[in-house]
Chain A
Amino acid sequence: DAGVIQSPRHEVTEMGQEVTLRCKPISGHNSLFWYRQTMMRGLELLIYFNNNVPIDDSGMPEDRFSAKMPNASFSTLKIQPSEPRDSAVYFCATRDRGIEQYFGPGTRLTVT
């Protein structure tokens, strides 16, 4: 298995632009997590999906952030409009029935 796939790996955009981050989970994993990592706050859980349904989005910082999982093979995290304080590394992680989560390589977002 290729593991969790994220794209793009790096994104540089200007303030006010829309940003879409993509994630392809490991086949058969029915739970998907979006995290944000910053120096100040460490790893923060943004949203959790189970069987493609959003279960907990309490970590989504503002209405500018939205996430979808239209099917078991794909999820997106969208920021519209983006702001400089959104600059961070965004990780997608998935798991099956175990507790361990398996992370993608991350997307480094820079908003100027």
Chain B
Amino acid sequence: DQQVKQNSPSLSVQEGRISILNCDYTNSMFDYFLWYKKYPAEGPTFLISISSIKDKNEDGRFTVFLNKSAKHLSLHIVPSQPGDSAVYFCAASAGRSNYQLIWGAGTKLIIKP
């Protein structure tokens, strides 16, 4: 049973436009969500996170939105740049004392020039 789902395996966006990556979850115990970015032949790198007490967190070009009632979060990248081309993973945690991160399958973002 996939508790964290990224339903789009890939997404293609024009350079300069907004990229929106989506993630859905089923476990209402999740209270912290993270986005990671992964380039080929590298490990995932932490990008941005959000606690369930917030509905938005912003860091430069990256904004994560959380809709708890819909059990949905999204990552917005504005404006999209060629270096943003990567695989993006959504992950969730149920409590700071819980060591496990539950991972989505990833979405490959391709930024077209």
Contacts and interface: CB of A to CB of B under 8 A. Distances in A.
For chain B, what secondary structure do more than half of its interface residues adopt (helix, strand, loop), or is it mixed? loop
Interface size class of A (residues with CB under 8 A): 20 to 34
B86 interface: no
Interface stretch (B43-51, B62-70, B74-82): B43-51
Interface string A68-104: 0000000000000000000000010100000111111
B99 A104 contact: no
Contacts of A48: 99-100
Contacts, number: 44
Interface residues of B, number: 19
A45 interface: yes
B100 A106 contact: no
Contacts of B101: 45, 99, 101
Nearest to A106: B43
Given A42-B105, A55-B99, A56-B99, A99 B32 contact: yes
Interface of B: 32, 34, 41-46, 49, 89, 93, 96, 99-101, 103-106
